[in-house]
Structure 1
């Protein structure tokens, strides 16, 4: 059976956000940032919307096989909602973890390419559908657009286990971000073709 990738309409954003939420429940960086289940379910949806919410109006939100997986891409010139992210991280008395999260975010900014590029804040496959090639299908679909545009693609892998998948699609490791008790975060770039 051939997988079918479709654009996600803005009206269906919540369904896509739920796939990301389920897929990232065991993600090292997400769970380090929000260690207990209640905090994760209360706050990680805000992160998902802030990082990937602008992909829907831009044609950068894709789903595969009836939401078995989703990818939220931001095209060149479209930024995540930094104000919402900053508000989530800012309190009058930041905890040590919040300071470490802020330091990770600060380092992330150093790796973003200065030239126009497609940015992948989230690619997620529902745990019930993992290891069936859905992530690869979603990547290949969007990377064809990057190639048509002759633009690079950038992502930050929050799970070391996913790096080989990205490398198979032409991404190269730019470095490693690790602050205090954080798990490693791996910025990756696929050069323009």
Structure 2
């Protein structure tokens, strides 16, 4: 943690936090250079986004690695080594949800993008940061990076590496400042480029080794 990052009271989210987490992620990614245009109808985007983030956040509860600040102003969705982001039934639900919410073309584009992400994801066991967001009303307070730093400190104790996909070039330097390095660049059909990043394990432990804000 740098001198500009204040410690946050990080905790594991519970089911009662899901509404707050969804609100945070919806505002955080509303204007994201990748996830904003993924739902081109601005009037409907918040509702469409919220439905997707609710599915991801709810599914993450079972891993006990959905980490939030005290009042869920910031949220980090981590998938531990050896776990699935979505089980097959949830993946099917996502496809149906996308088709109903945004239509078949948007759904197909997002599902194709997800396949591209999966194809380059390292096979070495790691913690996978799928989402990191801060509510619009709390931006500029350092909450996102502080939550990330606290998350990584917990992962370092376990001696595990970490991985993420950055959809916003503005965040690359921030991730580099906490030990991530770029691995691949994924060109999306829209022309947008997503950068995958890897942070080696801090020390010996499960999943340790060398090698190589999220989404």
User: Normalising by the residue count of structure 1, what TM-score does the alignment of the two structures yield?
Assistant: 0.87
Q: 1:23 aligns with which of 11, 28, 48?
A: 28
Q: Measure, in 2, the Cα distance between the counterparts of 1:2 and 1:187.
A: 26
Task: Please point out which of 13, 18, 42 is paired with 2:47.
Answer: 42
Unaligned residue ranges in structure 1 (runs of 5+) = none
* Aligned residue number for residue 144 of structure 1: 153
| 2:197 match: secondary structure | strand
Which digits, 9 at most, give the CA deviation of each residue in 1:44-99, with x for residues without a partner?
223213333332232212222423211111212222222233334558x943x544
**1:62 aligned onto 2:71:** no
Question: Distance between the aligned counterparts of 1:136 and 1:192, measured in 2?
Answer: 19
8 Å Cα contact 1:20/1:125 also seen in 2: yes
Are the structure 2 counterparts of residues 2 and 107 from structure 1 closer, same or farther at C-alpha, using a change threshold of 3 Å? closer
* Aligned residue-pair number: 191
Equivalent of 1:73 in 78, 83, 89: 78
RMSD: 2.2
Give the aligned partner of residue 156 of structure 1: 165
Would the aligned equivalents of 1:13 and 1:56 in 2 still touch at CA under 8 Å? no
Give the aligned partner of residue 123 of structure 2. 114
**Partner residue in 1 for 2:38:** 33
Alignment equivalent of 2:176, drawn from 167, 171, 174: 167
Alignment of 1:96-135 (within 5 A): 97-135=106-144
Unaligned runs of 5+ in 2: 1-5, 203-215
Query: What's the CA shift for 1:142?
Result: 1.1
After the TM superposition, list the runs of 4 or more consecutive aligned residues in structure 1 that deviate by more than 4 angstroms: none
